Chains A and B, each alone.
Chain A
Amino acid sequence: MSTSRDSAVVKDLHLNHNAGKTQSRDSNHSKKTSEYTTSTDRNWHGLANATRPMTPLRRASSADPLSSRGRRRTPVAQSRTPAGVSRYGGGSARKPLMVTPHGRAAQRQLEARRTPGKERRRSGRQQRETPRDALRALSRLLAPRSQPIAPTPTGPGQTPNKRFTSDDDDLDDEVELQRPRLSLPMGDADDEDDSLLLPPQSAGLEDENFTVQSVEFGRRARSEQPLSRLSRGSFGSVRMSDNFGDVSALGLGGALDESSLIGGPLADDDIYEMSEFSMGVPGDNTQTLRDLGLAQGALSIGRDSDVRPLALPDEATDNDFLFIVPPRDVSEEPRRNSSRRGSTPLSMILDMQSEDPQGHVEPLELDQENLMEGEEGEEFDNSEHPVPTVLYDPTQPLDMSLTMSVPRAPGLVGTLATTRKHKQAKVSVHGIEYPSLPAGVVKKLATTFARTAGNNKTKLNKETLDAIIQASDWFFEQVSDDLGAYAEHGRRKTIDETDVITLMARQRQINASNTPFSLAQKYLPRELLQEMRMVPPPKSKNQH
């Protein structure tokens, strides 16, 4: 309680005082303490403002309530203690009570009962006496003195650094041992990244890297992205010859743009790859790796590769490509055909070929990503690229990649697209030709629905209709896929009504309120409705 102490100590005392530790002392020095609090607060604020930018903020916020509490309380204590004294001391009747221990206890109880505020304070004191509070008090004590330590978070640059460096100097021998342990994940990783990456690369290149190729699926993913929305594998069944007219004739602003976008970088890649191949230098980076993989034709998805290995011999490049081509033809082609596209009869190809005005084979295997590119590229393949000649070879894989082809001009594409618009039967995954729904029917339906959708004077132009037909094709493919899956699940060879009902239920087209029959009544012409009703009563169907 000495005034000579610095403000922090006084603060601490103030804390204690707040805790109500020494009630009697408080009563004796309550005036003094109140003065202290005010003065200390003042000092405190002064200190805070003067010295610290950070700590003061905290202090200020906590200090104010503290001080106010102290102020508020001291008068109470002041007023109360005299009263208590007068009450207990003055009241002669209660003196005997105080004598006996029981009396004291009763008095304590009475006191506690009569002065709830005191009890509150006691509870508060108990709380403050927790170790945490002790630490807090200590911190408050230390905080003003430990200013330089305060910046520890930001500080490592200043004082701690010196410490560390000194430690390093002291422990030089040990540090060398410790360093690897501490920084091993960091430093070694950096070092090893290169070393780890490099060997596989070189090894892969030397060994006709199958692993790298299998890992590198980037080409497909890259070009797949923009067109991914267009289909779910449906492009596989849509021959380029079909789509060529449709999609590009649709003048899909977006699609064409995408194709041009795709074409640009790919063309660059082609150039890059060509130079690379001519030099016969295996590239270090993954790009070249992937390109090599593509060129070698071992990449499973690399339809581009079909062209490339053929082109490379022309350029008199490494033999590797020639060697690697066969394995892909043997292993990859069958798998791909069986799993993804299904093999197309050669006769059909030849038919398509003959039908093709350009007179070259249409690529039968078109990936979604290749579609757009292919449309553009194939024109140029005829004129400029030597490769297409090889495509006539029946033994060659029938898919062709157009990313390989020479950079193309979008303008030409447009004109060519419009010129070659012929109807061709599409071939499904299973190699079965199928027609698409007649445009008239689709148009009528679509117009009807567009009108109901709120567009009263709907005129569907050709492009829109083509887009709708395309969507219809995809829809049918998707639905048929699902239906086939359902039938297969039911171990049936035929798709029957239950499959369709299941499908529609899964599509959330059918629910309790929407029975297939009600939907049919809504959407189907009467004749069809009767058909539906006649053969299998829809009610029974609904019960399935």
Chain B
Amino acid sequence: MAAGQKLYPRATVKKIVKAHSNRNVSKNVDVLIFLDYALFLQTLMKEATINAKQAGERGVSAKSVKKVTELSLAKFKG
């Protein structure tokens, strides 16, 4: 699915997590976090697509994304 993807900026993910948690991030955890993020993004886009279709939009609009953001975030609450 994500075959042709280039590597994501690992350092960035690490930095983000580090900044938010105020903790060190062990090696390679960022991969897992990125995996989680990918799952989240998938959920988000799926929901947004559903929402957009229900709203009769052609593409996925920012509005639909906004609408499902909270729901998706709630799903990914640890």
Contact B19 A434 (CB under 8 A): yes
Give bound CA distance, A229 to B22, whole Å. 25
How many residue-residue contacts, CB under 8 A, span A and B? 258
Q: Does chain B have a CB within 8 A of A503?
A: yes
A interface: dominant SS? helix
Contact B17 A495 (CB under 8 A): yes
Contact B12 A484 (CB under 8 A): no
Q: How large is the interface on A (under 10, 10 to 19, 20 to 34, 35 or more residues)?
A: 35 or more
Which residues A195-238 have CB closer than 8 A to chain B?
A: 229-230, 232, 237
Q: How many residues of B contact A (CB 8 A)?
A: 62
Contact B77 A476 (CB under 8 A): no
Which residues A486-505 have CB closer than 8 A to chain B?
A: 486-488, 492-497, 499-504
Contacts A522-B1, A523-B1 given: A449-B41 contact, CB under 8 Å? yes
Closest B residue to A465 using CB positions: B62
Say which one of A65-73, A137-145, A454-462 lies at the interface with B. Answer: A454-462
Q: Which of B29, B34, B61 contacts A499 (CB 8 A)?
A: B29
Contact A487 B1 (CB under 8 A): no
Residues of A within 8 A of B19 (CB): 427-428, 430, 432-434, 480
Q: Does chain B have a CB within 8 A of A535?
A: yes
Contact A494 B63 (CB under 8 A): no
Contacts A232-B73, A449-B41, A471-B69 given: A500-B33 contact, CB under 8 Å? yes
Mask for A513-542, Cβ within 8 A of B = 1, else 0?
Answer: 000100110111111100110011000000
Q: Does chain B have a CB within 8 A of A437?
A: yes
Residues of A within 8 A of B4 (CB): 525
Give bound CA distance, A435 to B14, whole Å. 10
Mask for B46-72, Cβ within 8 A of A = 1, else 0?
Answer: 101110110000011111011101101
Q: Which of A251, A468, A503 contacts B44 (CB 8 A)?
A: A468
Give bound CA distance, A463 to B3, whole Å. 26
Give bound CA distance, A522 to B1, whole Å. 7
Which residues A332-350 have CB closer than 8 A to chain B?
A: none
Closest B residue to A471 using CB positions: B69
Residues of B within 8 A of A523 (CB): 1-2, 35, 38-39, 42
Q: Which of A250, A450, A504, A525 contacts B36 (CB 8 A)?
A: A504
Say which one of A147-155, A408-416, A438-446 lies at the interface with B. Answer: A438-446
Contacts A434-B16, A464-B65 given: A525-B76 contact, CB under 8 Å? no
Contact B17 A253 (CB under 8 A): no
Contact B63 A254 (CB under 8 A): yes
Closest A residue to B68 using CB positions: A471
Q: Which of B20, B60, B69, B78 contacts A458 (CB 8 A)?
A: B60
User: Which of B5, B17, B45, B61 has the most chain A CB atoms inside 10 A of its CB?
Assistant: B45
Give bound CA distance, A461 to B52, whole Å. 14
Which residues A389-432 have CB closer than 8 A to chain B?
A: 427-430, 432
Contact A455 B60 (CB under 8 A): yes
Q: Does chain B have a CB within 8 A of A373?
A: no
Q: Does chain B have a CB within 8 A of A5?
A: no
Closest A residue to B49 using CB positions: A453
Residues of B within 8 A of A497 (CB): 26, 28-29, 32
Closest B residue to A237 using CB positions: B20
Residues of B within 8 A of A476 (CB): 13, 16-17, 20, 37
Residues of B within 8 A of A438 (CB): 9, 12
Give, as a whole number of angstroms, the nearest-CB distance from B28 to chain A.
5
Residues of B within 8 A of A506 (CB): 78
Residues of B within 8 A of A496 (CB): 26, 29
Contact A252 B63 (CB under 8 A): yes
Contacts A430-B19, A450-B48 given: A253-B2 contact, CB under 8 Å? no
Give bound CA distance, A501 to B32, whole Å. 8
Give, as a whole number of angstroms, the nearest-CB distance from A246 to chain B.
10
A470-B69, A478-B77, A485-B78 given; name 12 further pairs at CB < 8 Å. A254-B66, A428-B22, A432-B22, A452-B1, A459-B59, A468-B41, A474-B73, A484-B23, A494-B25, A503-B78, A507-B78, A528-B7
